[in-house]
Amino acid sequence: MAYIRNLSLFAEITPVQWRTLLAAMLGWMLDAMDVMLYSFALVAIQQEFALTGTQSGLLTTAMLFAAALGGILAGYLADRVGRTRVLMGSILTYSLFTAAIATASSFEQLLFWRILVGFGLGAEWSAGTVLVAESWPARHRGKAIAITQSGWAIGYILASLLAAAILPTYGWRPLFALGILPALLTLWIRRAVPEPAAWSPALPRQPLGSLWRPPLRRYVLVSVSMASLILFAYWGLFTWVPAYLASPVEKGGAGLSVVRSTGFIIPMQLGALAGYLSFGFLADRFGRRPAFVGFLLGAGVVTYLYGGLAQSPGFLLALGPLVGFFGHGYYSAFGAILSELFPSGIRATAQGFCYNGGRVVSALAPAGIGFLADRHGLGAALAMTAGFFALGGLLVLGLPETNGRDLE
């Protein structure tokens, strides 16, 4: 009954608010598609360029460093030139440079284009989540950001379907060339999505130094630490899951083909979609902190089982939706909690800094997991991310409960 009552409240949402949500969700969905094309093409790229696991991980590590810088800059710009404008710029950036990866002829060129993709990736989250948070009412904010984040699961599934259809026959280059398509979304956003009422060019700006004065200083330190641990676990795990499923058993993988592994990825991402949506309703009803802790402790358990104890394809297939559910569902808490902790004049700047400060640390994860995989096998390396999930989840207890807080 509570679920039905929550759904009935959606009649209160205006068409403009729905369009804002759709714009951010589609931007995040296509962002995921462009970024995850690399994970699905990773085995083919490794073979063509004779890359080690460490080099392969470095391509994502460099992208995440760039994403952190892009996200911090985007937050700063979004407070000054507007959330919608920065969202459009981010989508153009990641789509153009994803397509450019198709032209790479060396490891160095791959690295260069991946870095530029990263700037767009980081900027999209910083602009999109604050845009939705400021546009939707407080009692529905968790659900709205959860729906936005669910676009990642849809984009991940789309990337897996494209990989299965294109990689075996045409190779990895045409796959990346399709990454140009999200640029078309900006034409609609420009016409249909206004800036939220909480932002205006005349809004007084708070100096950056205010982030380091109480009480905001504690919020920043806890949030950056929390994001660092959780994003390290997330990128360490999900960058390598497609390669784990497709790699030979003797290398610590599951021994599946690229096409067959798609049948394992899609259930996992359907679980992620359910996790995103469930978290939003739970966080709005019971609070941000209880939902966040529960999901991340669950992520620690299922990740350890998936990488450390999974012995058969049947077990991996059965466990995959739970890995997706717990390993992704908590993600919308970042947008909800961070937007509710900081005032309007510095909200996007603070949100971009805290989340992307964590990304700086998490950028070490893909290369670190690749390094461990070269020595201990991929499954064992993935299992090591479980502790980071659990620890990061507990850190949220150092922040106040923000559920229901209005954004001025």
Cα 61–chain centre separation: 14
Which of 161-170, 251-260, 307-316, 385-394 bottoms out in mean pLDDT, i.e. has the lowest? 251-260
Choose between 252 and 20: higher pLDDT: 20
Q: What is the mean pLDDT of residues 270-277?
A: 92
- Among 185, 204, 206, 203, residue whose Cα is nearest residue 195: 203
Q: What is the mean pLDDT of residues 171-181?
A: 93
Question: Considering the chain, what is the average pLDDT of its residues?
Answer: 89
pLDDT at 1: 47
- Among 32, 146, 78, residue whose Cα is nearest residue 352: 78
- Among 120, 318, 41, 358, residue whose Cα is nearest residue 227: 358
pLDDT at 314: 82
pLDDT (tens digit per residue) in 212-249: 999 899 999 999 999 999 999 998 898 888 778 877 77
- pLDDT greater than 50 at residue 3: no
Tell me the H-state helices in 171-215.
Answer: 172-177, 185-192
Confidence of residue 253 (pLDDT cuts 50, 70, 90): low
Question: DSSP letter at 308?
Answer: I
Q: What is the mean pLDDT of residues 147-176?
A: 91
pLDDT at 77: 94
Confidence of residue 292 (pLDDT cuts 50, 70, 90): very high
Domains for the chain: give ranges and CATH numbers.
15-193+211-398 (1.20.1250.20)
